[in-house]
Amino acid sequence: MKGLISGIKRMEIHDGDGLRTTVFFKGCPLKCIWCHNPESISRDVQIAYFKDKCIYCGECARSCSSGAINMIDKRIITDGKKCSLCLNCVDACPTGARSFFSKEYSVTELVDTVIDDKDFFINGSGGVTLSGGECLFQPNFAIEVAKEFYARGVSVYIDTCGFAQKSVFERILPYVDAFLYDVKAIDEKVHYECTGQSNALILDNLEFLLSKGAKVEIRFPLVKNYNDNQTEKIGKYLSKFDNPPKIKVLKYHSFAGSRYLSLNMKNTLPQVETTNSDVQNAVNILKNKYALNAINGVTES
């Protein structure tokens, strides 16, 4: 069995408890307009071209096996229809202006690649976080990866948007220490406008996990003028549970704009500023009005 991974990031401190290695799976069923990992949306292999790193040496064009790249008047022109994804241009580029997102791994290959960090996991009370995209968009691969890490004594967290079949959560639950679970909106209309999907399945899966006693941390990505009107509704929704999960309010940023450009993707990032005060105000509402264990993702308090 093999899966597609868009990247592996080591020594992370924001993707769960302790020091963690985050594995980014390729592909996501949602199309969040504020997505800051655009390279993980598609399940296809993608080649990125970072123009600001290019020195126009022409090595990419000379190496291209399909004639998809040409240098004309000191401009690099790529014909995506001709590209065969041979990746010769990536290997030939001396400055890193060309890179690719998506590498195929078997379960053993991926676990062996990450397991070298085990000393950091043990000393830092951390582990591995499977993220994306949406790791459960490749359900069978994600389950087998989680199972293998579990067998090797490594803590596994799942960073998920929750949009997967309940049976997937049932199957992976025994191998997972915690779920970092996105709740972007309670109003279905707002959720659909921001992500392209209903939130009915997401909320149903959340209630399933909580009913099973799973450790869950809610992630609320706050985007000014888009879903900031959902704070009260999220508070009311979570407060109905006997043992409400912790909720972390995350601050929106638009730093991923260059990656959209490099991948020739439409940049959907909202041109708005979400301030530290906006985040803290949301935390205060969740804490003071709804008695939730809410923390500020900017200050981690």
Task: Show the domain range for 202.
Answer: 2-44+103-296
Alpha-carbon distances of 188 from 184, 222, 239, rounded to whole Å: 10, 16, 19
Whether residue 213 sits in one domain with residue 90: no
Whether residue 15 sits in one domain with residue 131: yes
Whether residue 277 sits in one domain with residue 245: yes
Whether residue 148 sits in one domain with residue 286: yes
pLDDT band at residue 300 under the 50/70/90 scheme: low
Nearest to 252 by CA among 235, 227, 231: 227
pTM, 2 dp: 0.90
User: By mean pLDDT, which of 9-13, 184-188, 204-208, 231-235 is the weakest?
Assistant: 9-13
Nearest to 283 by CA among 216, 243, 228: 228
239 pLDDT above the threshold of 90: yes
**Pair type for strands 69-72 and 46-49:** unpaired
Question: What distance in Å separates the CA atoms of residue 229 and residue 222, rounded to the nearest whole number?
Answer: 9
Residue 170 in any domain: the answer is: yes
Question: What distance in Å separates the CA atoms of residue 237 and residue 220, rounded to the nearest whole number?
Answer: 13
Let me know: does 12 contact 20? Beta carbons within 8 Å. Answer: yes
Let me know: does 260 contact 38? Beta carbons within 8 Å. Answer: yes
Average pLDDT value over all residues in the chain? 92
Whether residue 218 sits in one domain with residue 107: yes
Residue 266 in any domain: the answer is: yes
Q: Give tens-digit pLDDT for 6-16.
A: 999 988 778 88
- Provide the pLDDT for residue 119: 77
Give me the CATH number covering residue 92.
Answer: 3.30.70.20
Q: Give tens-digit pLDDT for 27-83.
A: 999 999 999 999 999 988 888 999 889 999 899 999 998 888 998 887 888 888 888
Give me the helices (H) in 177-292, please: 188-195, 200-211, 231-238, 257-262, 276-284
